[in-house]
Amino acid sequence: MGEFDTVVVGAGVAGLTAARLLRRAGRSVVVVEARGRVGGRVHTDRTDGRITDLGASWIHGITDSPVAAAASAFGMPTTEFTVGGYQPDSRPIAHYDPSGHRLSPSAAASYVTDIHTVDAALVDVIAASAPRASYLEVTEEVIGRQPWTPERADRVREYFSHRAEEQYGAAIDDLAAHGLDDDAIDGDEVVFPDGYDRLPHHLAEGLDVRLGHVVTRIEWSGAGARVTTAQGIFAAREAIVTLPVGVLQSGDVAFDPELPDEVAAPLSRLRMNSFEKVFLRFPSVFWDDDVYAIRQQGAEGAWWHSWYDLTRLHGEPTLLTFAAGPAAIGTRGWTDDEVADSVMAQLRRLYGDDIPAPTRVDVTAWHDDPFARGSYAYMTLGSTTDDHDALATPIGGVLHLAGEATWTDDPATVTAALLSGHRAAERVLGREIDVTGAWAD
């Protein structure tokens, strides 16, 4: 049995940040990780020399971002890509109408103005909404007040629906009204042409990380914590547990005693989403020049409504789209070719039958991944934003939950994971420490 000051469960960004800060403070720390790699939901595929971020891609706003600071300290190059928050107009976007024709600049401007009108009014409506109100109810309330034709209202209605799906991987009527409150973006957004996984790899340098160790049991008491894996038991004064919400809810890891109500109740109100990425590489660019994204309105866009042009990252013509919410559920179990055919049918509608077939397709399956069980957590009806922080309530002075879902300000992000790891380390040490220590040396 290994004896440590702290055992950290999970080598994602939350766990690695916590471990690094504790080690820097002179603690003995072991990180126990089920997968054969670090990074968790930050994962870069490098097959054939192509760089594909299968998990996180974006820093959603680099101003005052600790992830941006870490990436800069680790020498990670970035590419500006400020459309990651489903903005309607942050950068040039080619909008297509329901019949597949590109909106004129003035039609696009009116459409975007309508979206901003609803967004501005939503702030007060959400603040006054009932505890179990859905995002659908609050948007409907605002859209219903506008003197718009049904057609005009439908376009805006579907924008908000797609934004809920793409930002949270959830259907708009299943997302709590406050579920998109935290979505402000400060500064440019960036992506990583060399792969986001450089971040966890740098964070892991010099740490004692035990890969391939699937945790099945976590015991805790006043005397400390014992973490059981098939390869052995790790005992420590405290445990930091960064398991994703879906893994915590699955029962795959037994807690003894069970998680107390202060933590179990908020956990029950969060849910793992349905959100997958679809990357399509082509021999040539056939879509609109000089746009960051392509969006299509109307019924044909029910599943495939947005494509992001990643060509600027590596020079190879590449579009990224998302199977988000209902599309992810509807395509579950499909082969990659079936998904590609379905996406291509929509691209052919916009760009003609003679566009080239993709030369390579990558489709993620985070939902089927037993160590993630989805891409990230969202607030289902009845949840409040405080549920995130409540999930990290220290348990018996011994157990600390961390991870993206435990951070209220900006959950579902790498930033949240990193800051939650910092908070867990501070709680273990019982004092404040500077987060920059995680990338200082």
Ligand X SMILES: Cc1cc2nc3c(=O)[nH]c(=O)nc-3n(C[C@H](O)[C@H](O)[C@H](O)COP(=O)(O)OP(=O)(O)OC[C@H]3O[C@@H](n4cnc5c(N)ncnc54)[C@H](O)[C@@H]3O)c2cc1C
- Interface contacts to ligand X, rule CB under 6 A: 9-15, 32-35, 40-42, 55-58, 60, 84, 214-215, 242-244, 247, 252-253, 275, 277, 364, 366, 371-372, 375-376, 403-404, 412-417
Q: Indicate the residue among 39 and 301 with the shorter CB distance to ligand X.
A: 39
Length of the chain equals 441
Residue 89 Cβ vs ligand X, minimum distance, rounded to whole Å: 20
Residue 271 Cβ vs ligand X, minimum distance, rounded to whole Å: 15
Backbone angles phi, psi at 7, to 5 degrees: -110, 130
Residue 125 Cβ vs ligand X, minimum distance, rounded to whole Å: 27
End-to-end Cα distance, the chain: 30
**How many whole angstroms separate alpha carbon 21 and alpha carbon 424?**
10
Q: Indicate the residue among 32 and 143 with the shorter CB distance to ligand X.
A: 32
Q: Which residues pair with 355 in a beta bridge?
A: none
What 8-state DSSP symbol labels residue 49?
G
- The CA distances from residue 13 to 37, 185, 203, 404, in Å, are 12, 21, 8, 9
**How many whole angstroms separate alpha carbon 211 and alpha carbon 221?**
26
Query: Which residue do the tokens 């040490």 mark?
Result: 429
Residue 370 Cβ vs ligand X, minimum distance, rounded to whole Å: 7
Q: In the numeric block, which tokens belong to residue 58?
A: 């974006």
Residue 256 Cβ vs ligand X, minimum distance, rounded to whole Å: 15
Residue 419 Cβ vs ligand X, minimum distance, rounded to whole Å: 10
The DSSP H or E segment spanning 156 is helix 150-168
**How many whole angstroms separate alpha carbon 153 and alpha carbon 160?**
11
Tell me the three state secondary structure of residue 187: coil
Residue 275 Cβ vs ligand X, minimum distance, rounded to whole Å: 6
Beta strands in 133-283, from DSSP E residues, in sequence order: 190-191, 209-210, 215-221, 224-229, 232-241, 254-256, 270-272, 275-281
Residue 372 Cβ vs ligand X, minimum distance, rounded to whole Å: 5
Q: Indicate the residue among 323 and 347 with the shorter CB distance to ligand X.
A: 323
Q: Indicate the residue among 139 and 242 with the shorter CB distance to ligand X.
A: 242
> DSSP H helical segments within 88-149, as ranges?
105-127, 135-144
Q: Indicate the residue among 95 and 277 with the shorter CB distance to ligand X.
A: 277
Q: Indicate the residue among 84 and 266 with the shorter CB distance to ligand X.
A: 84
For residue 8, which of 23, 21, 24, 19 has the smallest C-alpha distance? 19
Q: Indicate the residue among 34 and 361 with the shorter CB distance to ligand X.
A: 34
**How many whole angstroms separate alpha carbon 362 and alpha carbon 203?**
27
Q: Indicate the residue among 31 and 138 with the shorter CB distance to ligand X.
A: 31
For residue 194, which of 44, 300, 341, 419 has the smallest C-alpha distance? 44
Q: Indicate the residue among 33 and 362 with the shorter CB distance to ligand X.
A: 33
**How many whole angstroms separate alpha carbon 100 and alpha carbon 90?**
22
Residue 272 Cβ vs ligand X, minimum distance, rounded to whole Å: 10
